[in-house]
Structures are given as C-alpha cells and as structure tokens.
Amino acid sequence: AQSVTQLDSQVPVFEEAPVELRCNYSSSVSVYLFWYVQYPNQGLQLLLKYLSGSTLVKGINGFEAEFNKSQTSFHLRKPSVHISDTAEYFCAVSEVDSNYQLIWGAGTKLIIKP
C-alpha cells in the first residue's frame, strides 16, 4: 500500500449515538486491512481485520467495518457508542505480497460526549 488516509483527526459524538470512522487507502494490488484501537497510555489492540471473503467484518466491542474495493475504503462503524470507546483508532493496510509491512493511518481520536 502506498498510503493510508484517515481524514478525520477527531470525531466527537454523543454517547449512544452511531459513529463511522473513515479509512481510505491507495494500492493497486490485493490488501489485508486492519483496525487497531489505542486506549490512553496503552499499546495498540486489534479491533478487527479483513483478509478475504465477506466484505463485512465484525470485531470486538460491537465494532464492524466494511471493505469496499472499488472505493478503496475500510470504514469502521458502531451503532451505539459508550464512554469506554474513548480512544484513538488506527487503520492499517498490508499488501498481500509485501514483506508483511503495515502502512498506518495517522489515527482518529473518538471523543464521546456525555
């Protein structure tokens, strides 16, 4: 993957409202796609990944993402957010025949408003 773009640096949303965090990538070959979450002062933890098959992927904590090959996107969604979802979310892409290198987006801070 040449690059990964997370257009929104911050997304504020009210508690129990739905949220979508956007991720777009540029690559001309098949890719693997990942979403990681980073809680304050912690390392990164995998939320979900897409390798192949169904384009709708479900992850932990009620998150899901949909792979759209034509739009080269992998947006993350949750129907109802909780205060505990406050964290930074990173999208990462790896080209299938690469040397396993992950290309990372800059991250999106999810801010939950009470």
Partner 1 sequence: EAGVVQSPRYKIIEKKQPVAFWCNPISGHNTLYWYLQNLGQGPELLIRYENEEAVDDSQLPKDRFSAERLKGVDSTLKIQPAELGDSAVYLCASSLGRPGDIQYFGAGTRLSVL
Binding interface with partner 1 (CB under 8 A): 4, 9, 32, 34, 36, 41-46, 49, 51, 90, 92, 94, 96, 99-102, 104-107
* Nearest to partner 1 of 11, 32 (CB atom): 32
Output the smallest distance, CB 3 to partner 1, in A. 11
Output the smallest distance, CB 84 to partner 1, in A. 18
* Nearest to partner 1 of 47, 81 (CB atom): 47
* Angstrom distance (rounded) from CA 47 to CA 90: 10
* Angstrom distance (rounded) from CA 77 to CA 108: 13
* Nearest to partner 1 of 42, 71 (CB atom): 42
Output the smallest distance, CB 44 to partner 1, in A. 4
Output the smallest distance, CB 35 to partner 1, in A. 12
Dihedral pair phi/psi, residue 61, rounded to 5°: 60, 30
Instruction: Locate 2 and state its tokens.
Output: 């040449």
Beta bridge partners, 57, equal 65
* Angstrom distance (rounded) from CA 62 to CA 5: 23
* Nearest to partner 1 of 71, 99 (CB atom): 99
Which is it for strands 87-95 and 103-104: parallel, antiparallel or unpaired? antiparallel
